[in-house]
């Protein structure tokens, strides 16, 4: 826990620096409100409609693919860390991992064929 205490101290210090800079610039900078200064940038045109527009569903798809494959990568870590230690049973370990990756690659190929990885 000793080690995480320094992380906590560092977290507090870093947040403090960030917040202090924001507070400083808040009081040091000028404040001249009004006019059209507050309108969101839209390259010189008056903003049309709401800025929070519906966006492409592909971003959602990427999110789901990320969860599937990144969790897989984390599962690999656990296996990778002990692999060398149990190398005398390496063929078994490798076979098991090949099975796991094989099942995953099946899903990957399915996603590819369905066009989930295409972007246009």
User: Interface with another protein includes 65 (CB under 8 A)?
Assistant: yes
Smallest gap from Cβ 110 to another protein, in A, equals 13
Beta carbon nearer to another protein, 10 or 110: 10
User: Interface with another protein includes 73 (CB under 8 A)?
Assistant: yes
DSSP state of 33: -
**For residues 27-46, which are near another protein according to CB under 8 A?**
28-32, 37-43
Smallest gap from Cβ 111 to another protein, in A, equals 9
Quote the tokens at residue 71. Answer: 């969790």
Nearest to 82 by CA among 100, 70, 69, 94: 94
C-alpha torsion angle, residues 9, 10, 11, 17 (rounded to 10): 110
DSSP state of 61: H
User: Interface with another protein includes 113 (CB under 8 A)?
Assistant: no
User: Interface with another protein includes 6 (CB under 8 A)?
Assistant: yes
């Amino acid at each position: 826990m000793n080690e995480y205490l320094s992380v906590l101290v560092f977290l507090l210090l870093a947040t403090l620096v960030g917040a202090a800079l924001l507070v400083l610039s808040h009081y040091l900078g000028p404040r001249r409100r009004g006019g059209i200064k507050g309108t969101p940038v839209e390259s010189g045109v008056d903003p049309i409609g709401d800025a929070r527009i519906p966006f492409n569903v592909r971003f959602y798809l990427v999110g789901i693919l990320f969860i599937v494959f990144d969790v897989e990568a984390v599962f690999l870590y656990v296996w990778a860390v002990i692999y060398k230690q149990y190398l005398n049973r390496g063929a078994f370990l490798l076979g098991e991992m090949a099975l796991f990756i094989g099942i995953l690659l099946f899903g990957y190929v399915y996603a590819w064929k369905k066009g989930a990885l295409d972007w246009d």
